[in-house]
Every structure is written in structure tokens, then in C-alpha cells.
Amino acid sequence: MTTDLDMSGYLDLFLQEGEEQLEILERELLLLERAPTPARIDLVFRAAHTLKGSS
């Protein structure tokens, strides 16, 4: 028994989410360089973890 899945919707969602997480990573890493805080480090790790988990 074979099940055909339409993955195109998932790809669009992944690309959109990935772009959002990369924007967060870029912004927070630049801010982290100027003003490191534990909260900012958490945001960087959270964005990276979300990106990794989505893939």
C-alpha cells in the first residue's frame, strides 16, 4: 500500500518559517555582539533550535 503525500505546502511553510528564524538569528546575533544578555542568548538558541527542528 502506497500513500502519495502532497509535500509542496510543507515546503512553502518550511521556507517561510526558515526565513523568519534566520532573520531573528541575524538580528539577535548583531545585537548580542553589542550588548550580550542572557535573554538575547536564549533567543539565539531558540531560533537555531526551531530552525533545526523544522528541517
Q: Flag whether 15 is in a domain.
A: no
- On the question of pLDDT at 8 being above 90, the answer is no
Q: Flag whether 39 is in a domain.
A: yes
CA dist 42 and 46 (Å) reads 6
The DSSP result for 7-51, as a single string, is -HHHHHHHHHHHHHHHHHHHHHHHHHHHS--HHHHHHHHHHHHHH
- How is residue 29 written as a grid cell? 546575533
Q: What is the mean pLDDT of residues 23-27?
A: 97
Q: What is the pLDDT of residue 26?
A: 97
- On the question of pLDDT at 22 being above 80, the answer is yes
Q: Flag whether 28 is in a domain.
A: yes
Q: Flag whether 48 is in a domain.
A: yes
User: Residue 1 in contact with residue 24, Cβ under 8 Å?
Assistant: no
Q: Flag whether 18 is in a domain.
A: no
Cα 23 from chain centroid (whole Å): 8
Q: Flag whether 16 is in a domain.
A: no
Q: Flag whether 7 is in a domain.
A: no
Domain that holds residue 28: 23-55
